[in-house]
């Protein structure tokens, strides 16, 4: 939203008067501007306030009459610059990676040339004339729009609502019009006002040097050129068009400054590539479950040649809630987003198997099936929705596109979904923008949106992190209810092991891009975790029943960076039970109970010792 200011009001009022003058001046003073008389090169007088030109025509009348052509040319050049630049700047962010890289390089090349040089080059190619000048200046100013648009679009293209639109199969042109442009409109509007002043000056300059408007037509630049001949005998002849150019440019600058000062700073702020693994990954494959809804085997997520997720394997059964827990940077969200096919283009993922029932997620699954069979609840409720659109339009989009419902039926279904997540006055909420809802309401609305199509798998990426503890409990209750009511399977990501223990059926513990332990939630709640990292997480978790004198323990050190991950156990440098082989040998996940596996050399050694003792006893 743009807030008004005195400068903005003054600029708009002044430009409004000039626009009225552009319409009326040729009708009122057009005759005087074209009337030839014998009073050539007369100075300023009561009859001719700015004197006359070489043919005896009134200079003031000609200056006023030239307003229309000057403004039309300026508006046309600004429109060309804005349209071409904005389309180029946004197109690179809704196209593929190769098109994006080529487009960004093209923008860099265009920006490297000064606008005046580019305009002269285009004008020289097209020849002198009004149309040529307009096109030349429009092309010369378009790189400024392209660069700003590309930078702004980059910040918006990574937002959750754009990723969700891609998951839903929204075409690139609709992503451009519906999601990108509305969220970058304000700074572009500021640039338009600045470009108006710049193109006015540039067009006048081309006419001044003879490459713009040609006789008998004239604009302010052409009048300034003829006035230069009489600069020493009648300076008023050049003063009129010079003042007109300056005044209009200053008023446009007032508008630009006012828009910039009044713009809301909070308004400015993809699917990754999946492929079959060309070679077996290092981690051993998990035993495949024939009853699994989701099967992930040997998932590896990389960026810049560095593995961020290293050989992750797990399954999710129908109706099962599987939690993924670990410190920040452990690869939890990357794993979840790889499943949902929402990785950025700069990140690649490969796997031996990545399948949702009969849907092969490695083979470029159809957007319609992805949109209806996988729902996503994002971490930040403020970024979950497009701030430029009303809640209703965003909730009904997937129903209209993928379920074929008309507008009325889709809104009725959306209102029911909001009511099911305990949002008051759902019909009224559909007419509101996201900023009009509290954080908890936005997150409940996001859950409703994710469940609208009845997905078989819900990916919840730390959906309670940004919420206070009371709202957090409400969100967890909603997820439990969705699981019980619809049998929706969930992949729940969190760094809070207490939340995981309260919601999930089975738990995956991740550290440094690898799964170090997989266990039933009963074992986690009973303290039967076996991996040293999992036990350290439990010891660092506050407990209501803990004695007052019991101090929380901390885990010394920090996780290694992905590029510095050791060949052996990544937790070795922080582990109190470290063994010599831990630094060099990657531990394999071994069974330690029913549905319970852990990857630790200490457990492996203990199992070997136990086996040896049993053989000796027998």
Query: What is residue 267's predicted lDDT score, i.e. its pLDDT?
Result: 38
Whole-model pTM: value is 0.66
Enumerate the domain spans of the chain: 6-32+49-267, 273-388+433-543
Cα(596)–Cα(591) distance, integer angstroms: 6
3-state secondary structure of 603: helix
Q: Identify which of 502, 485, 513, 570 has the alpha carbon closest to the alpha carbon of residue 541.
A: 502
Cα(52)–Cα(61) distance, integer angstroms: 10
Q: Residue 598 corresponds to which tokens in the numbers above?
A: 């852990």
What's the first-to-final CA gap in the chain, in angstroms? 81
Cα(460)–Cα(296) distance, integer angstroms: 17
Cα(289)–Cα(208) distance, integer angstroms: 79
CB 577 within 8 A of CB 549: no
Q: Give me the CATH topology for the region 273-388+433-543.
A: Rossmann fold (3.40.50)
Query: What is residue 612's predicted lDDT score, i.e. its pLDDT?
Result: 47
Q: Average pLDDT, whole number, for the chain?
A: 83
Query: What is residue 497's predicted lDDT score, i.e. its pLDDT?
Result: 87
pLDDT tens per residue, range 148-162: 888 888 878 777 778
More confident residue, 41 or 449: 449
Cα(1)–Cα(581) distance, integer angstroms: 61
- The number of C-alpha atoms within 13 Å of 27 and in the hemisphere containing its C-beta is 5
Indicate if the pLDDT at residue 265 is higher than 70. no
Query: What is residue 465's predicted lDDT score, i.e. its pLDDT?
Result: 75
Per DSSP (E only), the strands in 432-475 are 457-461
Cα(271)–Cα(104) distance, integer angstroms: 19
The region of weakest confidence among 72-86, 168-182, 206-220, 550-564 is: 168-182
* CA distances for 78 relative to 73, 139, 199, 202, 435, angstroms: 9, 9, 7, 11, 33
Q: What is the mean pLDDT of residues 58-69?
A: 92
Cα(478)–Cα(470) distance, integer angstroms: 13
Cα(389)–Cα(183) distance, integer angstroms: 9
Query: What is residue 260's predicted lDDT score, i.e. its pLDDT?
Result: 64
Cα(614)–Cα(95) distance, integer angstroms: 64
* CA distances for 390 relative to 188, 421, 453, angstroms: 22, 18, 19
CB 348 within 8 A of CB 275: yes
CATH (residue range 6-32+49-267)? 1.10.3720.10
pLDDT tens per residue, range 337-385: 999 888 887 888 999 999 998 888 887 656 667 778 898 988 877 777 8
User: Is the backbone peptide bond immediately before 475 cis, with ω within 30 degrees of 0?
Assistant: no
Question: How buried is 232 (Cβ within 10 angstroms: 0-12 exposed, 13-18 middle, 19+ buried)?
Answer: exposed
Q: Identify which of 522, 383, 504 has the alpha carbon closest to the alpha carbon of residue 443.
A: 383
Q: Identify which of 81, 120, 113, 79 has the alpha carbon closest to the alpha carbon of residue 212.
A: 120
Beta bridge partners of 321: 490
String of DSSP letters for 41-89: T----SSSTT-B-TTS-BHHHHHHHHHHHHHHHHHHHHHHHHHHHHHHH
Indicate if the pLDDT at residue 1 is higher than 90. no
Q: What is the mean pLDDT of residues 544-567?
A: 78
Question: How buried is 454 (Cβ within 10 angstroms: 0-12 exposed, 13-18 middle, 19+ buried)?
Answer: exposed
String of DSSP letters for 230-243: TTTT-THHHHHHHH
More confident residue, 122 or 531: 531
CB 410 within 8 A of CB 399: yes
């Amino acid at each position: 939203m743009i807030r008004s200011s005195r400068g903005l009001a003054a600029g708009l009022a002044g430009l409004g008067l000039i626009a009225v003058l552009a319409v009326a001046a040729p009708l009122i003073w057009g005759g005087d501007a074209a009337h030839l008389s014998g009073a050539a090169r007369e100075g300023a007088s009561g009859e001719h306030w700015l004197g006359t030109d070489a043919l005896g025509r009134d200079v003031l009348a000609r200056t006023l009459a030239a307003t229309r052509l000057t403004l039309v040319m300026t508006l046309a050049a600004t429109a060309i610059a804005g349209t071409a630049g904005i389309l180029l700047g946004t197109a690179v962010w809704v196209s593929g990676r190769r098109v994006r890289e080529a487009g960004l390089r093209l923008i860099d090349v265009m920006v490297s040339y000064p606008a005046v040089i580019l305009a002269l080059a285009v004008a020289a190619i097209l020849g002198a004339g009004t149309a040529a000048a307009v096109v030349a200046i429009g092309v010369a100013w378009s790189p400024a729009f392209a660069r700003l648009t590309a930078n702004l679009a980059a910040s918006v293209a990574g937002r959750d609502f754009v990723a969700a639109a891609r998951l839903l199969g929204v075409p690139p042109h609709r992503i451009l019009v519906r999601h990108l442009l509305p969220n970058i409109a304000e700074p572009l509007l500021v640039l338009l006002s600045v470009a108006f002043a710049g193109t006015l000056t540039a067009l006048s300059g081309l006419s001044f040097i003879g490459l713009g408007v040609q006789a008998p037509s004239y604009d302010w630049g052409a009048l300034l050129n003829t006035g230069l001949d009489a600069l020493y005998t009648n300076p008023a002849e050049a003063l009129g068009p010079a003042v007109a150019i300056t005044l209009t440019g200053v008023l446009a600058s007032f508008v630009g400054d006012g828009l910039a000062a009044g713009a809301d700073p909070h308004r400015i702020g993809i699917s990754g590539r999946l492929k079959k693994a060309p070679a077996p990954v290092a981690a051993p494959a998990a035993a495949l479950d024939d009853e699994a809804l989701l099967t992930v085997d040997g998932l590896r997520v990389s960026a810049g040649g560095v593995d961020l997720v290293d050989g992750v394997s797990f399954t999710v059964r129908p109706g099962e809630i599987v939690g993924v827990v670990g410190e920040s940077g452990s690869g939890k969200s990357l794993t979840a987003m790889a499943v949902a096919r929402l990785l950025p283009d700069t990140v690649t993922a490969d796997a031996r198997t990545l399948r949702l029932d009969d849907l092969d997620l490695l083979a470029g699954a159809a957007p319609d099936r992805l949109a209806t069979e996988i729902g996503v609840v994002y971490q930040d409720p403020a970024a979950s929705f497009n701030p430029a659109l009303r809640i209703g339009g965003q909730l009904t989009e997937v129903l209209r596109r993928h379920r074929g419902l008309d507008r009325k039926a889709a809104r009725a279904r959306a209102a029911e979904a909001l009511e099911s997540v305990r949002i008051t006055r759902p019909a009224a909420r559909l007419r509101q923008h996201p900023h009009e809802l509290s954080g908890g309401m936005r997150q409940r609305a996001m859950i409703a949106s994710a469940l609208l199509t009845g997905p078989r798998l819900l990916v919840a990426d730390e959906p309670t992190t940004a919420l206070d503890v009371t709202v957090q409990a409400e969100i967890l209750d909603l997820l439990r209810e969705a699981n019980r009511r619809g049998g929706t399977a969930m992949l729940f990501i969190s760094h809070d092991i207490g939340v995981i223990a309260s919601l999930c059926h089975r738990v995956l513990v991740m550290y440094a891009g690898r799964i170090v332990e997989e266990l039933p939630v009963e074992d986690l709640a009973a303290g039967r975790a076996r991996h040293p990292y999992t036990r350290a997480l439990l010891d660092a978790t506050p407990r209501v029943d803990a004695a007052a004198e019991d101090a929380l323990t901390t885990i010394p050190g920090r996780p290694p960076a992905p590029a510095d991950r050791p060949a052996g156990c990544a937790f070795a440098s922080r582990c109190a039970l470290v063994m010599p082989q831990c630094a060099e040998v990657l531990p394999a996940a071994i069974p330690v109970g029913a549905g319970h596996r852990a990857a630790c050399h200490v457990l492996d050694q203990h199992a070997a010792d136990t086996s040896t003792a049993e053989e000796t006893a027998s």
